[in-house]
Structure 1
Amino acid sequence: MSSTVFAQGTLSDYERAARMQSAHTLVSRTSLQPHWIAQSDRFWYLDDHAGVKTFLHVDPARGTQRPAFDHARLAASISTASKPYSAQDLPFGYIEFSDSEASIAFTLDDVSWRCDLSTYRCSVQQQPVGAKAGEVLSPDGRWAVFIRDHNLWSRDTQTNNERALTRDGEPRNDYASDSGISLTPVTDALRKNPLEIEVVFSPDSTRLLTYRIDAREVTEIGMLQTVPEARPRLHRFPYPMPGDAGVPKVKMVLVDLHSAQAQPLNLDPFVRMTSFPLQMGWNERGTQVFFLEETRGFKSARLHVADASSAQVRTALEESSDTYINRNSQLRMIGNDLLWTSERDGWNHLYLIDGRSGAIKKQLTRGNWAVRDIHYIDAKRGQIYFTAGGAEAGQDPYLRFLYRVGVDGSKPKLLTPEPADHGIAFSPNGRYFVDTYSRIDLAPVTVLRAADGRLVRELQRADLTQLLATGWRLPEPVTVKASDGQTDLYGMILRPTNFDPKRRYPVLDAIYPGPQHIRTPKTFSLEGSAHREDDLALAELGFIVVTVDGRGTPWRSRAFREYAYGNMGAAGALEDHVAALKALAERYSFIDLERVGIYGHSGGGYASARAMLKYPEFYKVAVSSAGNHDQRSYWAEWGERFQGYPVGDNYLNQANAALASQLRGRLLLVHGDLDDNVHVSNMLQLADALIAANKDFDMLILPNRNHGLVDLGNPKAASESYDPYFLRRRWDYFVQNLMGVTPPREFVLKLETH
């Protein structure tokens, strides 16, 4: 191929790609996590810049931003002859201010300290600081609750005394956990991760709303761990598949922390198919609780309200759909009324609902744009703060802007005008919020604003100096038409740092088909986002990497999202991807449509294999990892929500195995044998069909790797990055089969962390 003339895919390309695979180490100040002090407006955060970590204290009322303490003096105060500390040894991750902010508490090297900030005298504390892993703290900080032996327990943070709040929990019939609905049970067990706990404290910190989950009738699935022990180890866990008779059910419960008594709500257990957190909460006075029940098949959602003293439940509203209820719908309570996001007019909007009659009192927002998240409710002033996309003319509809709207139905007010995606964090009392805004082509800026949107101060700007010094280019946002010739689609183009517009480059389609997520990033941040660094690295090898979000993905209109319903075989509208790449090739002469590859993971693994089978004349090479190649073999919630329920012939049009005879190009199937999300049988069933069709393909099974292709036997393995061996093999596969170049043999890829 002509690409060999340009020496793409060489050792030097691999070395640059390896650097891009750890691009997050070359940037700083791209994000800011505020830790609010008690229920005040003040907060602290950890600044990590130029090799120096500093705890900073921000007082919005005074407009000040300063070091939270003298780092060197504090280090000296806790140093001993056997254990000296320096200022840079202090980033212990979490500090806790006293109510007066005269002292701080923290844990360092498993020792808990409290230090007086006026004298810097420090003493060792008996109880740990804040909540332990797997605990949830009450609003007043007095109580921490956790799960032990299938029951709910509390810990007094002042005395460290523990107490059982429930006593009749048992395996697969336990309290407040994700038992029976966890997508990572084996990963969590081998990593010794604490159980996810789902509780909501009352505003006065005296009671809990939670549930008991019964997964005893759910059919088990098994996985065989073949390494590192000589005898393979069998792991079994509940795993409901589409159409199964036995599914998890929950019974809602109120728990009193003082009496340690659990009171079931007066409602029969209901099906809980989703691993997403249950939408539940309290009104601001703590007199009522609310929660959402989704029915089997997800075609209806019931909004329930219960009296917190009598435990009597009433169904305030039932919303129905002929497809499914939007997974992004949100439920809150304002006084006796409910705030609900619904797509009943074709777009996700806010509705105020009478909590007693279920009547819609007002549609608070309307228009051809979509509400994304409810961030804060000021019940006293009757104001709701929310993010939305698509309301600002000329802007990418996926970019989130913050708005305020009154329950009187007044016109929403824009609070964050910068043309970017805005990540929002409100103070507990809602008087201020931290706003980090960026785009893929705009470095992050973090500011502090008052609730009315007024700028209080800039907190930080991202430093991209090291990344830009590599010759790295900002991604290019692109807009193209879908295959219908009318619908706008939004995507991204990545070029290598040594890009030459006179050359022609092979192109890679980086795909994730939704329907619950998009693939094209909208913010700049690289930290904790393995996909973005994967894309950067593959571009550096000499590819043009393209992402595009076709019809059937979320956060736009109901019609746009529902393109995928019962049509999962379209894999996020692959026809839109083909149309988009053809349009981009007409726009940019450097894109070579004779050399098109595709890759994706999980749902993207399904879509990349699907592309090779459905469009064999267009896609030439694919690397498909951890793909759910037949929704009948995957998680019940996924198939029943997006492909339909009941389960029958309506599932035949989505199975990749049915198209096995159409494979023409080069396909690499990759899976971890300890994938407790998408079972490895998904890949093996497709492999069996390809063998029966006498098709050549490649297959890589990674032992001891989970759904994220992380080595569960290696405690040092990065928890948010794919296995480096897999990444290198994916590089090799595209370089050899799409560029026609022999890759460097057994290149050693080392992933760097901060």
Structure 2
Amino acid sequence: MRTTSTALLVLLTSLLTSTAAGQGSKQDYEQAFDQRASRRGTVRGDELIHGWSSDGTRLWFIANLEGGGTQYRVCELATGRITHAFNHAVLAESLRAAHLEIDPDRLPLRRLEFDGDGRLRLLLQSAPPQELVVEDGKVFSLGDIDPAGPFAVPLRPVGHFGRGRRRGRGRVDLIVHNASEHTIRLDWLSDRGARRYDEIAPGERHVQDTHVGHLWRIVSVSDDATWGDVLAPELISLVRVEGPAAPTDRADEEEPVLPAPTPRVMFREHNAWLERPGESEVQLTTEGAEEQPLAGPVHISPDGRYLVVHQEHRAETREIHMVESSPDDQLQPKLHTLDYPKPGDPLDVKRPRMFDAQSGKELGLDRDLFPNPWNIRHGHWAADSSSFFFVHNERGHGFLRLLAVDVATGTTRVVIDEDPETFVDYNQKLFLHHLEDTNEVLWTSERSGWNHLYRVDRSTGEAVAVTSGEWVVRAVVEVDEGQRTARLRVMGIHAGQDPYHVHHAVVDFDTGELTVWTESDGTHEIRLSSDGQHLVATWSRADQPPVHEVRRTSDGALVTELARADASANLEARGGRFSQPFAAKGRDGTTEIWGLIHRPRDFDPGQRYPVIEAIYAGPHDHHVPKAFAETYRAEAMTELGFLVVQIDGMGTNWRSKSFHDVAHKNLADAGFPDRIAWLRAAGEADASFDLERVGIYGGSAGGQNAMRAVLDHHEFYRAAAADCGCHDNRMDKVWWNELWMGWPVDDSYLRSSNVEDADRLGGALFLTVGELDRNVDPASTMQVVDALIRADKDFELIVFPGGGHGSGGGRYGTRRMYDFFVRELHGVEPRWEGEPVQTVLRQRNQ
């Protein structure tokens, strides 16, 4: 360990030799807080507005012009040839004849559709919006939007869209035309219920700004009767409301249909009751009690003969108490109490019970294979009603099983057994899809060391790898049982690229033939054509603005590049450089560790800058941004004259299983050996990195990580800011912590506790917490404060009255964190004007 005098001398020397421009002046602070707003709108064309012809031969899209303006263009999908959709100058002149003064490069058009007669239909942004039909480049007709045309969406009966409505990307305008004789109201249907919006008088049109996939309800104001629902589509559209929606044929909707008559299960007085059509109710259970009630979910066999319910065994739930010191509505403090199970606590447990629906008798189940479940989910009946399947997730997450119950015998057998030496990441990597026609399931597993898709025989448990290799299946997007294919999001599939880039593929799950649809060096989003033969892929990186391509799905071949986003204004706002992805070897000298470097807007490569790491090492995901953005939250601090970095070290998700397993019973590790190796490599590659002045900050799990840096690695990290930290995993929510740290609670929890190791603090520490944090118990921060005081350590603390999770990320908390790092790493008083004033260097914790 360095002596105090040596540490102060090194720091003082580095401060005196640094002449970087931004060092925490008042102007620097203003620019930091204004950064996001100042960069808003500096990227044009990051999203591609496009559509497909009904015959699948053409694609239209809106292209951005240099210097501003847009044009509509058409891509011939067979050749990739791109042409103008029409002569914009001729069309503008034609519109002038209709008394509309329009710039040909700024036509107020919102959408294009191909007419079967060879004409183009355009949606004109006017008041009200109108439909424009173009033939031979000239206006053929101009008038109201055809309610039966391609720009219209229907009003559907209430409940038509169910609960599983899709969530799309981006915003869209929904034009509501009230063609009825009554005033109507728009209600937005969220997960929390209906929220009232605008009223629309008879004959009026209203343009509602919304998000793709949001559900809206039409209500008659006079009697509050619901008339129907409309789902916001991907492109601007009109819904014409003439009255209540007409009934529709829902045969196209994928809903399970049980044969009639179907028994029904009800729950009363903690017991289960069976109602058979045409018969009196039968009480299935009598032993239910308040602490052991019968409950759902209910699973009825396809033939209606058998059913499964669940009996819950309730445990006494831990409560935590928080005092709101300064409530808005009264002078005296308030006490808040909430249920908050923690690692090791007794938990509610549900176990299945099976009954014969004809006799009402219970069929015994062999429970030896699911003795202590964390949960039992994904119940599913075989098509012939002979077996019932469910997933058993054992508490501690050391193993996970797909089990099958034989109805005839009541015996339970293991179909799939995931039993790694560490943990099963059920929260991110569990995928299950039953293939009834072949008595198989599709299942994801890390048994090979990488997350891949398997096809498993439900009778024998024999597993066949559908995908394999040193890359991972990120998600199964869709299963087509007819074609025996699965659409996938994959990561790490292209050697030489950042392994966190998302690519898209389709796999034949009989042959394992994999067709990768995307290959460009970036992370991808795609939109398929209506016939599934083509896709538009949008890819980007932190240092590459979005690029839009059209590709074939048959082989993934590139048809053509359609457009590139114009980020010239954004590049200028960033000082001529984007954030830089950077990779270096980790602790083992072999594994590539990937991160991101954010540099100051006025960066001078001849100067040396202190470095701050924005850390979040939660094992549930990776956390370094991959897609391009106008600005990243971590970038703001660069305005104060810091290099800011983000790194995904070992222990984070979506690499190999061994990479992830570093976190097992070892959250204290947080990938620090990899992070430090990465930073040293970055310093070797770029002399502007001043690794004698390194700070770190994070919130929540990142708060735990940030403090751990100055406990275990204070010879490298000189200062840490930790907001709402989970400083002892025994104090935090049960599900997140037991997933990585296991159950029962053992000494590994102590070894990862910042409270237990508070006496090891070196360097400077700034703690923040909201007194009403309902995510991470705020007592976790106060316990680490107590331990620091007992160890006679210096630190700073802010408790936010009434503040919740992440309160330190508000404006005041952020400003104070900026102050902390400016003092500790720049060595000047923050927010100076004129000339900086040097901070009096105090002795740091050693």
**Global fold match (TM > 0.5):** yes
Distance 1:307 1:648, change over 3 A: closer
For the pair 1:422 / 2:524, whether they are aligned, the reply is yes
Where does 1:65-84 land on structure 2 (aligned, <5 Å)?
72-73=129-130, 77-78=177-178
Q: Which residue of 2 aligns with 1:93?
A: 211
SS of equivalent residue, structure 2 residue 730: helix
Q: Which residue of 2 aligns with 1:686?
A: 784
**Partners of 2:255 and 2:793 in 1: how far apart?**
63
**Kept after mapping to 2: 8 A contact 1:483/1:576:** yes
Deviations 1:445-470 (A, max 9, x none): 45565643466898875453543342
Q: Which residue of 1 aligns with 2:393?
A: 294
**Partners of 1:425 and 1:305 in 2: how far apart?**
38
**Partners of 1:21 and 1:363 in 2: how far apart?**
46
Q: Which residue of 2 aligns with 1:358?
A: 461
**Partners of 2:503 and 2:543 in 1: how far apart?**
17
What number of residue pairs does the alignment pair up? 656
TM-score when normalising by structure 1: 0.73
**Partners of 1:214 and 1:568 in 2: how far apart?**
31
**Kept after mapping to 1: 8 A contact 2:20/2:609:** no
Distance 1:709 1:431, change over 3 A: farther
**Partners of 2:658 and 2:123 in 1: how far apart?**
50
Distance 1:140 1:489, change over 3 A: same
**Kept after mapping to 1: 8 A contact 2:292/2:311:** no
Distance 1:594 1:121, change over 3 A: closer
**Partners of 1:307 and 1:432 in 2: how far apart?**
45
Distance 1:106 1:44, change over 3 A: farther
Between stretches 372-381 and 701-710, larger displacement belongs to 701-710
Query: Counterpart of 2:797 in structure 1: which amino acid?
Result: M
Residue 294 of structure 1 and its aligned partner are, at CA, apart by 1.1
SS of equivalent residue, structure 1 residue 564: coil
Q: Which residue of 2 aligns with 1:8?
A: 23
For the pair 1:739 / 2:826, whether they are aligned, the reply is yes
Alignment match of 2:450 (pick from 343, 347, 366): 347
Residue 471 of structure 1 and its aligned partner are, at CA, apart by 3.3
Residue 636 of structure 1 and its aligned partner are, at CA, apart by 2.2
Structure 1: gaps spanning 5 or more residues: 98-103, 128-136, 143-148, 152-167, 177-197, 527-531, 711-721, 747-754
Where does 1:275-294 land on structure 2 (aligned, <5 Å)?
291-294=390-393
For the pair 1:407 / 2:509, whether they are aligned, the reply is yes
Query: Counterpart of 1:348 in structure 2: which amino acid?
Result: N
Q: Which residue of 1 aligns with 2:586?
A: 482
Residue 491 of structure 1 and its aligned partner are, at CA, apart by 0.8
Alignment match of 1:559 (pick from 625, 647, 658): 658
**Kept after mapping to 2: 8 A contact 1:90/1:108:** no
Between stretches 589-598 and 398-407, larger displacement belongs to 398-407
For the pair 1:323 / 2:410, whether they are aligned, the reply is no
Between stretches 602-611 and 577-586, larger displacement belongs to 577-586
Q: Which residue of 2 aligns with 1:699?
A: 797
Q: Which residue of 2 aligns with 1:714?
A: none
Deviations 1:112-165 (A, max 9, x none): 7889x99985446599xxxxxxxxx985799xxxxxx999xxxxxxxxxxxxxx
SS of equivalent residue, structure 1 residue 229: coil
**Partners of 2:207 and 2:536 in 1: how far apart?**
27
SS of equivalent residue, structure 1 residue 417: coil
Structure 2: gaps spanning 5 or more residues: 1-14, 70-105, 131-144, 146-174, 184-197, 231-235, 247-251, 258-267, 271-287, 834-846
Distance 1:252 1:391, change over 3 A: farther
Query: Counterpart of 1:13 in structure 2: which amino acid?
Result: D
Query: Counterpart of 2:622 in structure 1: which amino acid?
Result: I
Alignment match of 1:620 (pick from 712, 718, 728): 718
**Partners of 1:657 and 1:422 in 2: how far apart?**
42
Q: Which residue of 1 aligns with 2:328?
A: 228
Alignment match of 1:438 (pick from 514, 521, 540): 540
Distance 1:394 1:458, change over 3 A: closer
**Partners of 2:241 and 2:338 in 1: how far apart?**
47
Higher Rg: 2
**Kept after mapping to 2: 8 A contact 1:242/1:637:** yes
**Kept after mapping to 2: 8 A contact 1:172/1:216:** no
Where does 1:433-512 land on structure 2 (aligned, <5 Å)?
435-446=537-548, 451-452=553-554, 453=556, 462-472=565-575, 473-512=577-616
SS of equivalent residue, structure 1 residue 670: strand
Q: Which residue of 1 aligns with 2:165?
A: none
Between stretches 678-687 and 432-441, larger displacement belongs to 432-441
SS of equivalent residue, structure 1 residue 570: coil
Distance 1:731 1:583, change over 3 A: same
**Partners of 2:751 and 2:532 in 1: how far apart?**
49
**Kept after mapping to 2: 8 A contact 1:621/1:667:** yes
For the pair 1:637 / 2:735, whether they are aligned, the reply is yes
Distance 1:407 1:673, change over 3 A: same
Q: Which residue of 2 aligns with 1:752?
A: none
Deviations 1:703-753 (A, max 9, x none): 23322439xxxxxxxxxxx4222222222221222212322389xxxxxxx
Alignment match of 1:592 (pick from 690, 715, 737): 690
**Kept after mapping to 1: 8 A contact 2:115/2:121:** no
**Partners of 1:242 and 1:416 in 2: how far apart?**
42
Distance 1:476 1:554, change over 3 A: same
TM-score when normalising by structure 2: 0.65
For the pair 1:538 / 2:656, whether they are aligned, the reply is no
Residue 402 of structure 1 and its aligned partner are, at CA, apart by 1.7
SS of equivalent residue, structure 2 residue 467: coil
For the pair 1:658 / 2:742, whether they are aligned, the reply is no
Residue 685 of structure 1 and its aligned partner are, at CA, apart by 0.8
Alignment match of 2:498 (pick from 385, 388, 396): 396
Residue 654 of structure 1 and its aligned partner are, at CA, apart by 0.7
Query: Counterpart of 1:355 in structure 2: which amino acid?
Result: R
**Kept after mapping to 1: 8 A contact 2:176/2:239:** no
SS of equivalent residue, structure 1 residue 612: helix
Distance 1:284 1:607, change over 3 A: farther
**Kept after mapping to 2: 8 A contact 1:376/1:430:** no
**Partners of 1:278 and 1:233 in 2: how far apart?**
39
- Percent identical among aligned pairs is 33
Distance 1:633 1:141, change over 3 A: same
Query: Counterpart of 2:345 in structure 1: which amino acid?
Result: D
**Partners of 1:311 and 1:57 in 2: how far apart?**
60
For the pair 1:20 / 2:35, whether they are aligned, the reply is yes
**Partners of 2:666 and 2:220 in 1: how far apart?**
52
Residue 410 of structure 1 and its aligned partner are, at CA, apart by 3.3
